[in-house]
Each structure stands twice: as structure tokens, then as C-alpha cells.
Amino acid sequence: MIQRIVVLTLFIYIGSLLPLSARRTPLPADSVAVIAQMYDPSAELPDVGQLFDYDKKSVWVNQLVDSFAKVPLSKKVLLHLDVIEGTTSAFRYKIRLGHIPTDIPFTLYVSVEEGARLCINGHAIDYKHKDGYAVLKRKWRSGNEILIQ
């Protein structure tokens, strides 16, 4: 006689019990270009659809990798987000924002180590660090740059 053991694991997620990452929408892979592939095609890269997430009021930069993304902030605004790896000691990464028609308020979450130095448009800033992200809440405009050191 063959015995079968069935193990049933049930996960129940209800509204606010969802982890933060489950409430966000990963960008589709076709809206993200990973530039690092051009330099080293054999480089192991993350799933491009998981580099950036967004919701109605926020954008998350989950991994600092040379990349470019188009983020639909609204029906009228398709934010262009460039993540550039530094080639000198001036900065480790730079994030450039583009295609914002006017000053638009949203929160940008950037995955950084606690204590990392951040500058916006050349000015050092204080920021809140939450769950592994620098929380940058403000009105953003095209040409804004965030330097991560």
C-alpha cells in the first residue's frame, strides 16, 4: 500500500497585510533597457522587469544597475529614468529624470545602504531611510539628478 502525504500551505494576504513590494507594479521588461549588457554581454543581470516598480504616487529604483526606464506616472506623463554607474570617484551612481512636463510631486525610493550620501542637483540632502530605501519625496522636474556616493 502506498501512502500519500499531502502538505497544504495556505497563504492569506488581505489588503494592508500585503508586503509593500506586492502592492507595487513591476515595469514590463520592454519599458526597461539594461545598458550594462552593451559593455559586458556575459554580465549576470537581474530580471529587467524588477529593476523598477511604481504605483500611483511613487517610483522605486530597486537595484542600481546601468539602465533606462519609462515609468507611466499618469496617463499624460511617461517619466524617463536613467541610472548611470559612475566612472570616477565623484559618484557611484547618478539617477537622471526626464520627460516631466511640469513640477510633479511623487516619492522616489532609491535602494541604498543606510548612511549613503545623496545629492540632488549638486546639493547634499538629508533623507529618511526606510526598508533599505532612501525616501525622496518632493516635486520633481526634468533634468533633476540624484547622485549616490
**Confidence band, pLDDT 50/70/90 cuts, at residue 137:** very high
**Burial (CB count <10 Å: 0-12, 13-18, 19+), residue 95:** buried
For the entire predicted model, the pTM comes to 0.75
Tell me the torsion sign for CA atoms 122, 116, 54, 49.
positive
> pLDDT tens-digit profile of 61-117?
988 888 888 888 888 888 998 888 887 776 789 999 999 988 999 999 999 999 999
Q: Which residue has the cell 554580465?
A: 43
pLDDT, position 1: 47
Average pLDDT (11-39) is 55
> pLDDT tens-digit profile of 41-58?
566 666 666 788 888 889
Report the CATH fold assignment for 23-148: Immunoglobulin-like (2.60.40)
- Cα gap 86→74, rounded to integer Å: 30
Residue 16 has pLDDT above 60, yes or no: no
Domain spans of the chain, in order of start: 23-148
